[in-house]
């Protein structure tokens, strides 16, 4: 499965942002910054990574559904889609 270019561009932007945030977290720890500030920024990194992952999953699922509609394969059930999504969450 290949993710659309537009979706991949958004994912890469989010990952680059997360990379910058993570670099900032490392610098904060090395500088001995307050634990609360470090945890707040670490949570932001985690959310950015989650959003990137969800974007990949959502785009991939849309492509899978579209491909199924164009083939003779049976469409995925809601339970199958949920299982696929949760496997990556």
Higher-confidence residue of 75 and 52: namely: 52
24: domain range?
5-88
Helices (runs of H) and strands (runs of E) counted in the chain: 3, 0
Tokens of 20: 């910058």
Segment 14-54, tens digit of pLDDT: 899 999 999 999 999 999 999 999 999 999 999 888 888 88
pTM exceeding the 0.85 threshold for the entire prediction = no
Q: Domain of 49: which CATH number? A: 1.20.58.1000
In the chain, the number of structural domains is 1
Q: What is the Cα–Cα distance from 83 to 49, expressed in whole angstroms?
A: 20
Q: What is the Cα–Cα distance from 54 to 63, expressed in whole angstroms?
A: 14
Tokens of 19: 């990379």
Tokens of 64: 């899978």
76 pLDDT exceeds 90? no
């Amino acid at each position: 499965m290949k993710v659309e270019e537009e979706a991949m561009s958004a994912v890469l932007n989010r990952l680059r942002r997360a990379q910058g945030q993570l670099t900032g977290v490392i610098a904060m720890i090395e500088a001995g910054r307050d634990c609360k500030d470090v945890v707040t920024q670490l949570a932001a990194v985690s959310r950015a990574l989650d959003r990137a992952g969800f974007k990949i999953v959502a785009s991939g699922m849309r492509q899978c559904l579209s491909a199924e509609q164009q083939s003779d394969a049976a469409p995925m059930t809601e339970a199958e889609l949920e299982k696929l999504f949760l496997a990556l969450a």
